């Protein structure tokens, strides 16, 4: 993608009513439409979505394919896709606006800062769909199921809130299971290293992202882990 095209998308993002951005990691303020300050911590459902429905986050959402599909499937729930890449979020946000999907929004920020923008217990569920596995051991702390990230999720999830990981990476799958086994107050509910080899345990797993379709075409197996903190 050309630099000019990216800049155009970043400019258009500022006009979207369903996108919030944090421009400076050192200062946890959010900007909404036209760059206006927008404090949504503890107020996502009543202020942005104008309802009291439960909230699901999709972390490392990319183009927001899971957020969009879940929003279509469950109109009585709210969905927020989170990613640091504005050009990716632009795609999902634009589709949501074109389809009048009022139960989906997007947050552009670094995921390690997620607890700055949600109140304790404000989030009911988290999906982590095909994140970067960061295969180098030196980058293990950047994996979204590393202990440091679990600590942040614990701050915002309601008691009993579910976390779902869907990945093609055997390394991330194994790392996640090892991490969960070493964590106290973690309940592993289900895991499968080849979800399409048997009937799916959740209808939500039917959703296939752009990258998942590529992985499947390369004969890779798709892994899934479900747990609660």
155 is written with which tokens?
Answer: 């701050």
With both helix axes pointing from N to C terminus, report the angle between 3-13 and 86-98 in degrees, rounded to the nearest 10: 50
Q: Provide the pairing of β-strand 223-228 with 187-192.
A: antiparallel
Q: Is 132 a catalytic residue?
A: yes
What residues have CB less than 8 Å from 3, skipping those under 6 apart?
Answer: none
Closest CA to 60 of 38, 40, 80, 37: 80
Q: Per the residue annotation, which of 76, 132, 168, 193 is the catalytic one?
A: 132
CB-based burial, 50-74: b 16+ in 10 Å, e otherwise: eeebbbbbbbbbbbbbbbbbbbeee
Residues 6+ apart with CB under 8 A from 145: 128, 165, 172, 175, 176, 179, 180, 225
Question: What token pair was written down for 9?
Answer: 């998308």
Collapse the DSSP code of 190 into the 3-class scheme (helix H, G, I; strand E, B; otherwise coil) and give the result: strand
Number of other residues whose CB lies within 10 A of the CB of residue 28: 14
Q: Which active-site residues does the annotation give?
A: 132
């Amino acid at each position: 993608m050309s630099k000019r095209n990216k800049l155009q998308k970043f400019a258009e993002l500022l006009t979207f009513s369903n996108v919030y951005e944090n421009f400076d990691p050192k200062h946890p303020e959010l900007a909404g439409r036209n760059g206006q300050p927008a404090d949504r911590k503890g107020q996502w459902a009543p202020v942005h979505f104008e309802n009291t429905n439960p909230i699901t986050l999709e972390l490392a959402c990319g183009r927001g394919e899971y957020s969009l599909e879940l929003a279509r499937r469950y109109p009585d729930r709210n969905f927020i896709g989170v990613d640091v890449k504005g050009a990716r979020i632009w795609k999902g946000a634009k589709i949501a606006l074109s389809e009048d999907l009022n139960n989906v929004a997007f947050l552009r920020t670094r995921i390690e800062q997620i607890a700055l923008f949600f109140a304790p217990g404000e989030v009911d569920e988290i999906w982590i769909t095909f994140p970067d596995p960061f295969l180098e051991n030196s980058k293990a702390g950047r994996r979204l199921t590393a202990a440091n990230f679990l600590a942040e999720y614990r701050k915002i999830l309601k008691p009993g809130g579910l976390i779902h990981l869907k990945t093609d990476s055997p390394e991330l799958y194994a790392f996640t299971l090892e991490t969960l086994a070493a964590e106290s107050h973690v309940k592993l509910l289900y895991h499968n290293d080849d979800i399409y080899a048997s009937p799916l345990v959740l209808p939500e797993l039917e959703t296939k992202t752009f990258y998942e379709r590529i992985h499947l075409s390369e004969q890779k197996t798709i892994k899934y882990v479900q747990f609660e903190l």
